[in-house]
Amino acid sequence: MTIVSTKEMLLDAQKRKYAVPAFNIHNLETIRIVVEAAQELKSPVILAVTPSTVEYAGAEYLIAIARVAALKHSIPIALHLDHFNDIKLIKKYIDLGFSSAMIDASHDPFEENIKKTKEIVEYAKNLGVTVEAELGRLVGQEDDLVVEEKDSVFTNPTMALEFAERTNIDSLAVAIGTAHGLYKSEPKLDFDRLSQIKEKVSIPLVLHGASGVPVESIGKSIELGICKVNIATELKIPFADGVKKFFQKNPDASDPRKYLSAGMLPMKEVVMEKIKMCKSEGKVS
């Protein structure tokens, strides 16, 4: 297969009431872990990269690795720009081969958010690339993006309808009480708000900040319209822990093939757990 957009996979998830997992990846090892786990469980998957990941690994390298992964496996794989707000960069990376893009202008006033989002939608649609946008702001930190608690804003259902209609986006990221990073206590999600948004908005809805959210809450979110779930922090921790344990046992080790492999297995276990949490297991025939 080739890299695909998120459009068909999210519409299928919406129809069949599951969510497509979007895993933040950083390099060859993390891409392999995510894709191999998704293949084993017959799940569609989204490889998500933040601006700092592209800066670290290089857009061309990431695209090439994702293309090889798509050719080797039989599941739908999308390569997604996550939380990008630089319009020029989004267009540049779309031209290079990314199949999906999130324009995050949620920090801007409502009208400015619409203006920037529309510009990306008009550019991307001509190239068969799907566009996600965000209305509301999640507290916490996603790489270099930091939102203080006092600046967090929940998504307004009425404004969500207007936003979706005026921008013609393919999916909408909503703020209902999740946060980027790990939680200090169990998050309390606003399911009533999510239900109201679902009643008004027909396009697939996206949940960011899912690391650490209880499985039951994710399940209820999916029942209420969430079709894509983003996971980042919960993948980094087991990978890092695996590498640390390797060096504790092998302090003089220097072969990256060995110490990076030590991080891959524990991360893969988490990826498989999250695929099952999203109810996307077995959705690819």
Q: Is there a domain that residue 77 lies in? A: yes
On the question of pLDDT at 4 being above 90, the answer is yes
Q: Is there a domain that residue 222 lies in? A: yes
Say which CATH number the domain at 210 has: 3.20.20.70
On the question of pLDDT at 147 being above 60, the answer is no
On the question of pLDDT at 139 being above 70, the answer is no
Rg (CA), the chain: 18
Annotated binding-site residue numbers for Zn(2+)? 83, 104, 134, 180, 208
Q: Is there a domain that residue 13 lies in? A: yes
Q: What average pLDDT does this structure show over 232-250?
A: 96
pLDDT of residue 150: 41
pLDDT of residue 153: 79
> 12, 82, 144, 151: which one is catalytic?
82
202 is in which domain, residue-wise?
7-277
Q: Is there a domain that residue 1 lies in? A: no
Question: Residues 19-43: pLDDT tens digits?
Answer: 999 999 999 999 999 999 999 999 9
Please give the model's pTM, rounded to 2 decimal places.
0.92
On the question of pLDDT at 138 being above 70, the answer is no
Which pLDDT band holds residue 182 (cuts at 50, 70, 90)?
Answer: low
Annotated binding-site residue numbers for dihydroxyacetone phosphate? 181, 209-211, 230-233
User: Is 82 one of the annotated active-site residues of the chain?
Assistant: yes
Task: Look at the chain and report how many structural domains it folds into.
Answer: 1
Q: Are 80 and 22 contacting, i.e. CB atoms less than 8 angstroms apart?
A: yes
**C-alpha–C-alpha distance, residues 72 and 66, integer Å:** 10
Lowest mean pLDDT among 75-79, 213-217, 256-260: 213-217
Lowest mean pLDDT among 61-70, 115-124, 145-154: 145-154
On the question of pLDDT at 187 being above 80, the answer is no
Q: Is there a domain that residue 2 lies in? A: no
Which pLDDT band holds residue 143 (cuts at 50, 70, 90)?
Answer: low
Q: What are residue 77's phi and psi, to 5 degrees?
A: -125, 125
| Residues contacting residue 82 through CB under 8 Å, at least 6 positions apart | 22, 24, 48, 49, 50, 102, 142, 230
On the question of pLDDT at 145 being above 70, the answer is no
Q: What average pLDDT does this structure show over 210-231?
A: 93
Annotated binding-site residue numbers? 83, 104, 134, 180-181, 208-211, 230-233
Q: Is there a domain that residue 283 lies in? A: no
Q: What average pLDDT does this structure show over 92-111?
A: 96
Decide which of 206 and 150 is more confident. Answer: 206
pLDDT of residue 250: 98
